[in-house]
Amino acid sequence: MKPNIFSIILNVGTAVVVAALAYGSYKSATIAWSVGICLAIGLVVYAFRFLPEPKKVARKDGAAPSSRSQTRQAAVVVAVIFGLMLVVPTVVLWLGRYSPELGALVGGIALMAIFLILWLRSRYQRSHEADES
């Protein structure tokens, strides 16, 4: 694969972030725990690559869903995620008073949950897109 400007920026950015996290981990145990938690989450996300593709599911009624119902579903998903994210900082700060590592873990899980929900929704839509065309 021929490197382009985006891959170069991604690689340089990754190297800078890794260097900053390594230096921060050396200076503070809390940052080291946070980096370890992020690495563990990253490994879990990487493992998702090996899941099988979703199966195409035929609709029983044969009719494609209306675009209004899909819009409504997307709006509900976004509203729920936004509402839950308003609570996360309070929970993380409250847990951080007792254990900074636990606060970092809960914050990392909450942030990854957003992407997990959106990823699962895209897999669901991909499995049903053959019915809509």
With a CB cutoff of 8 Å and minimum separation 6, the contacts of 73 are none
The per-residue pLDDT for range 37-59, each reduced to its tens digit, is 777 777 777 777 777 776 766 66
With a CB cutoff of 8 Å and minimum separation 6, the contacts of 126 are 54
Question: Residue 116 and residue 121: Cα distance in Å, rounded?
Answer: 9
Question: Residue 48 and residue 94: Cα distance in Å, rounded?
Answer: 31
Are the C-beta atoms of residues 54 and 126 closer than 8 Å to each other?
Answer: yes
Domain count, the chain: 1
Specify the pTM. Answer: 0.48
Residues spanned by the domain of 21? 5-58+65-132
Q: Over 70: is that where the pLDDT of 1 sits?
A: no
